[in-house]
Amino acid sequence: MSEVRKIATRESYGNALAELGAEHDDIVVLDADLAEATKTGIFKKAFPERFIDCGIAESNMIGVAAGLAAAGKVPFASSFAMFAAGRAYEQVRNSVGYPHLNVKIGATHAGISVGEDGATHQCNEDIALMRVIPGMTVICPSDDIEARAAVRAAYEHKGPVYMRFGRLAVPVINDRKDYKFKLGKGVVLREGKDLTIIATGLPVSNCLEAAGKLAADGIEAKVVNIHTIKPLDEELVTAAAKETGQVVTVEEHSVIGGLGSAVCDVLSEKEPTRVMKIGINDVFGESGPAAELLKKYGLDTESIYEKIKGFVR
């Protein structure tokens, strides 16, 4: 059996930028002194004249990106999620969101899997922050293929986009010929009749594995990958809930304001359904190896499996 290919979605981001840069000369990439970590250095090496290092000044970087967008360029502003969504929130809201400018935000090192950098850098609030900005598209890809497609879709979309990428290498799960990425459309990865698992980002592959373990217990789980959290694929979410009668959401983000909240908002109005949210339970993270943190905070395959098994009626 061949070994599963793994790659961090931040790597995918850097590679996709370089590919797009060769096709479109209106792309400008900005970074806040983290080009090696965010992988925008790949673009910098290929197109140094279209790369701007703004230094450790994320709020200013967003302002520069807004100016470039107003001048007709397509800027990709890049930093760690904690800084891109957190430190620069006011500028993202007022300088990008309010005038609805064509700025793309590439936020890497999101979630608990940032690992040893600890709680200050483990951003588990960014989806909630970006979701609430009117007109902001929010994307959280699950693997290399989806991340590359997301960057291309972000470029083609007119308006502000927030893209969430991870530090940890994750399995490639979308390497099939029929895979298509479309903003606002979820992807059914596995059919099932007993419950629906709706996941985003890093835990999607773990959810697929958990579904396999549940099947061995006679529980058939439908697995849905939601790469676009805003706009949410409401039609797919409601149809899946109606079909299976119970839903579990899984995300490497706070259970407050993220994917789980978005799903519950829709279901409470359109298809009242029993829901369990799996994610970071209103706590800060801590320093430690990524794999151990995912296990401790209940986002590894075994933990997801055990939680769902206890939830299913």
Catalytic residues: 58
> For 269-285, b where at least 16 C-beta lie within 10 A, e where not — what string?
eebebebbbbbbeeeeb
Q: 81 is written with which tokens?
A: 């999620």
Interatomic CA distance for residues 147 and 168, integer angstroms: 14
* Count of residues in the chain: 313
Q: Compute how many other C-beta atoms are within 10 angstroms of the C-beta atom of residue 205.
A: 22
Q: Using CA of residue 266, residue 268, residue 273, residue 277, what is the dihedral sign?
A: positive
Interatomic CA distance for residues 60 and 66, integer angstroms: 10
Interatomic CA distance for residues 85 and 139, integer angstroms: 13
| Vertex 161 angle, CA 224 and 277, to 5° | 35
Q: Using CA of residue 109, residue 113, residue 36, residue 169, what is the dihedral sign?
A: negative
CA atoms in the 13 A half-sphere facing the CB of 174: 26
